[in-house]
Chain A
């Protein structure tokens, strides 16, 4: 029973922290965007506009929630949930820090260490497409529907490439436990090069990165929204808190994606020379969480950076890239990984 209490505590803690990041990200996004476009960005609310997200939140919460006349009310209402909930759940399997020994208990800084961790992550993130699809369909709006169709096609196409890239990583690290995967990346080569999977599987990393952009509907793959052609796509008809949930969901998905990328390819919370993987002191754990946060943050900033740098792809380019480039590449990578794994039996 105590373990359940502990789990509940972990969930609460991580969720609380998790929920605080999207507003921060929104602020960051606006600031970086302004920087890239040679503007100043938000600077009215608080010093450097730092309270701007708070103001936004208050605005969105207090705004009237409009339900248009011809929508399918039920689906229209649940759709935002489908975006947010999977993004939040998928974070459950991510290990955020080293084990810590507190009051005689060894505590894992991870909500659930599943048999099937990474598969669970993939399965849950694949659910987020429903939010977009249902929202688009329920809106009873041509543009929204286009957005929905685009999102489903895009998600299905890029999920395959993503899964294949993950399989390559699984094959080279030999485990599906994310925790073990992190431990496997904690040593170094030649004394200085961290044994991260990105060095074992560079191609898989690139594929995963591109697919991650597509899965989170970020530019250059934000065709479901495509403000310039679909006037917002699936969330055209949304406003108020429902719109905020869509928005939050997107950023949460981004966070989860970044976290999983860090875990899969960049050694998770480990950093040779800074974090001792097998130590269980509180200090070490805190340090590992910080390391994890910095790595994830770097990825988030990378996401934002890319968004304001690259133009949007055309729909057919997107499909071509997915099916004719990424999947064959991933399959080839898989093949060579398998050959390499079996080199002792073959040669």
Chain B
């Protein structure tokens, strides 16, 4: 294969096909039946998946590392040369596969899940648009194209969280997600400006080359840019301090949570750091910040996950926590591991969410036929006999999340911690801290995972709603999706070695993977594996069979109870935020409304007509209807222009 034979043009088709699906579905959603709409909605991502496979195989056999397809030259303004271009390299190819693959499965699942919803067509339109935008984000050749995708997925996330917009709470959750994201996006935008200011280009390749040429004097600027980008990433990927929106985002349909708020969109920040690895491997300070923030987020979210009652909230906090792991890996420079964890996480978290969706769907209110919307795990229980398919697929995802071998989560999480331990020179170094926090998180992960499994599938049924076995058997699409994803989370770990060699060209020749010594590896493995097994058994025992006892213990012991309450109420961060940020902002808005809007703006708005009235009165004399007056006035204008021209000529340096 040579340069000319690579099917470059097809790259554009990857984002284009779902976009086409979006257009078709949104235009025809009132005309077509649900079945056709579902087919149409799934066709875009599925075809894109096929194209992505084809291109990935082509790229594998292609001598060059990356291929760029320039759609057209977009902005040409002085220094700024931007084109709407897509780059396919191993990293973006992998992400494309994940997005279109997992996306397609979730689309198929949605056919069953959204069956009968009156917004069926709208849902698939949004979902297709999201897929398209995510692919733009991933394939973008430069920062601005990436930013288009970045904003596009944010928009779709907003639309889908507030999908049931008649519910006020859900609308508010959507707004919260949007506003919080905006804070991050603002930093990201400033980062883009600064990057252009410093590098003179915005294409990733150009930035890579510019960094290679740059003097160390500019290191602080590199760090600043990297941190700005990371702030953007904290918004999109729900890291401290901008994680607040993700738990609320669970208001959307569950497949949306699976696709957007677990598998793809929230990993955009991780992908961005991978894409800018050239920047982050130089900006060591920023990398340390990334690692520490990631580790802190991981532990912090995990502790909150332990006490949640809502099945989706638990999974949401676990997502934040896992994202923390990814950032930890990225911050430590283990880019391959971070991306690998992203991939496996996409598999098992999607499986878990879809499983959760199936569980929610399985509970039907006795008096009415449709899903009760039950999400409280305390009211579930003993589900495994009734819904074995959900149970087994959920187990596969859950074991993977808890990083038990041989599930895929183990293969991606264990090396991250091992790398941190290997790199740790002293206990109080960044890497040491990261390892310590990561290990604690791993145990917490095990706890909340097994608590979840025990509460949902074991023990006695505690709720007043019944399980409708026919319901999930009826929707083959949901079952199919669950099986596919659970198989992926079971066997996804096998990709490890393939992936590290496949992705190597992306990080550049200067990047080396850390060799983990045998002793570190064994110590890490036995510590985590052993700890995990112990915690798993204990948690499972307590929550499956001694649930009433543990509730009583917590309630009676004030220390336990306060810990529990603190964690359950999410450390009151939302309330503190309300008090410290939202309230003053509201007060400021009121003041602005009173002083700026009523006084200044209204004054200007009312004053302008008066001004124009006076001006018109004064200028009426000029408009006397005589051609000569007009010509003379035109001439006066020309003379003024000429005067300036003459001035510049006479006083020009030439």
A and B directly contacting (CB within 8 A): no
Chain B interfacial positions (CB closer than 8 Å to A)? none
